[in-house]
Amino acid sequence: MVLLVVGSALPGQETELSTQNKRARKLYVQAEQFAHQRNLEMAIESLNKALTIDQNFVEGWLLLAEIRQDEHHYPEALSAFQHAFSIDSMRYPHMYFSMGKLAFDMGNYPLAVKYYRNYIHFNSLDSLENEMVLSGLKSAQLALNLMQHPFMIEIHNMGNDINTADDEFVNFLSADDRMMVITRKIRRDSVLEGDVEFAEGFYQSHFADSVWTKLQAMNLPWIDGNNAGGMSMSADGRSMLFTGCYWPNGNGSCDIYYSNRIGRNWENPVAFNDRINTPGWESQPVISSDGRTIYFTSKRAGGKGGADIWRTNYIPEKGWSIPVNLGDSINTAGDEMAPFIHGDDQTLYFSSNGHPGLGGYDLFYARKDKADRWSNARNMGVPINSKADEVNLFVNLKGTHGWISSNREKGFGGMDIWDFPIPEMLKPQPVILLAGIVVDSLTSKPLQAQVEIVTLPAATEIRQLQSDSITGEFLVVLNPKNSYIFNIYKKGYLFYSEQVSQTDVQLKENLDKVYALRPVKSGEKMNLYNVFFNFNSDKLLPASTPELDRLITLLNDNPSVRVQITGHTDSIGSGDFNRTLSQKRATSVMNYLVGKGVNSGRLITAGLGDTQPIASNSAESGRALNRRTEITIK
């Protein structure tokens, strides 16, 4: 309880009280004693009696206002302040500041601006007080501007199949927006280290028949008896990061753990190393879509104050790097919480009570430039933010829809989950979803295979992952501004390859696409879609290297296999020219393989020119398909 207005103005002598009535003075002193004992009901009873005796007792109204404010009974508090103000507006100038803060907490931003300005106008403030008042005025002005320029969207409570009187926090939605994971926080009756304990657990809901199903607890036996929250998942839903507090093997009060999913089962969790987990407090981790960066919240030394957002990068053969603070554009002297990095790896959303907002915690966003620098945080505006607390956010991979946790009005109590369409200016950058299921072409049995993505044209950035060993599923998020080589490989099978570019964005939204790998056997053919030559030339381009190296792996894994390399062209040019060019290109591929150690006796070449088209030559799209290099198992 603050008691700033009266306490800062009164040294405690009775002669300075505005009432001359001894009974009212005595009741006021009683009310002060009750207030300091936290017996607020008796304090209010004493004040009401005093104010019945003398309705112009300024200090009585002020103390009543501060008690009501402390109880979060804001309308009653403001009414009491205004009553005192109407009696003597100059006796306690600090009333202006208190009324400004109270009006702000109520969401009455015009009134807050008025009182803050009056306080600055009528008082000579020291530097610290001036900074505090100017900060309040800046927040009120920003909030007023946001209220006057809301986004034309509606936010919906997700209903009682998701929300309860307890706290619900949104954690993850699958790439198809049909599976949601949340954390539910339930108050316990026990107390630990002087604080009320809470039980947190993870729950799932599925979108079926146009509605979300009732939440069901996730089957995670290793959480039983342990407190776990602040969870997120990798873009493909196969890795889970979460916060474990007071776990037996913990490094501090709360630490960060991870677990991987194989099939439908989650493995026992593992704590991150002591670069990430300190003896302090670490929480709310989230991993970038490429798996190379983790953002999390920590109160470790070296921050800007309170809880800050930090990041650590994965360095091959060295592990996770020493975390780095995201800096002044993101972190403040307040608390920055619940970081969420979208699949574009450029747009960061988070919650803060340190940046100017509408009150409590608001949601903010920032974007990363090519130099890895973050823009200044920007408030996500109304109606996404409110005078209540908005504490975390999830934006789907398509960037079209968001889910937040908020204790705003008209909820079920505590933190509820609300959903809404993302306004255009708040959307992340578009992404490509490359996903599917790898199976055996003969048996349809799911396969664990290696998936490789190479960025074009330089072919220097390579990402590798594996499809799930039980389901064969994989998912990777790509930047549509780039083109990529994409292949799938498993020993004993011909590899699958294709090129992915901006024009394929829509094609890659089918998350159930099946990639059927064919076993290596005589007569099987496959196209090397990612072998490239200069125009009208047999000179291999550097971007061909990943595909040809994959072919070498295939040959090394199957030492008894011989292959024919066949070159094909489109119909542009004479037949003789095309046959000669296709033969030279097949020979170039053979020479590359031989140069890498493949026995030349296992290789034969052929050049068929334009004699075996697989598409019409009347359009460039068809001609591009006809210009190909093909191998046949012998």
Please indicate, yes or no, whether residues 225 and 338 belong to a single structural domain of this protein: yes
Please indicate, yes or no, whether residues 206 and 313 belong to a single structural domain of this protein: yes
**pLDDT, position 461:** 76
Please indicate, yes or no, whether residues 136 and 269 belong to a single structural domain of this protein: no
Please indicate, yes or no, whether residues 501 and 608 belong to a single structural domain of this protein: no
- HSE on the CB side for 211, CA within 13 Å? 7
Count of structural domains, the chain: 4
Count other C-beta atoms under 10 Å from residue 432's C-beta. Answer: 24
CATH number at residue 471: 2.60.40.1120
Please indicate, yes or no, whether residues 398 and 443 belong to a single structural domain of this protein: no
**β partners of residue 378:** 365
Cα(602)–Cα(531) distance, integer angstroms: 20
Count other C-beta atoms under 10 Å from residue 145's C-beta. Answer: 13
215 versus 7: which is more confidently predicted? 215
Nearest to 63 by CA among 52, 47, 83, 76: 47
The domain boundary residue, chosen from 464, 486, 519? 519
H/E stretch holding 424? none
Count other C-beta atoms under 10 Å from residue 17's C-beta. Answer: 20
Tens of pLDDT, residue by residue over 493-535, are 999 998 887 665 554 556 778 999 999 999 999 999 889 999 8
Tens of pLDDT, residue by residue over 76-88, are 999 999 999 999 9
Single pTM value for the model: 0.88
CB 435 within 8 A of CB 293: no
Q: Band of the pLDDT at 189, cuts 50, 70, 90? A: low
Domain that holds residue 287: 156-426
Tens of pLDDT, residue by residue over 97-117, are 999 999 999 999 999 999 999
**pLDDT, position 312:** 97
Please indicate, yes or no, whether residues 357 and 266 belong to a single structural domain of this protein: yes
Nearest to 146 by CA among 419, 426, 339, 392: 426
Q: Where are the extended beta strands (E) located within 413-472?
A: 416-421, 432-440, 450-456, 462-466
Cα(426)–Cα(355) distance, integer angstroms: 17
Give the residue-averaged pLDDT of 608-629.
92
Please indicate, yes or no, whether residues 320 and 456 belong to a single structural domain of this protein: no
Q: Band of the pLDDT at 1, cuts 50, 70, 90? A: very low
CB 237 within 8 A of CB 178: no
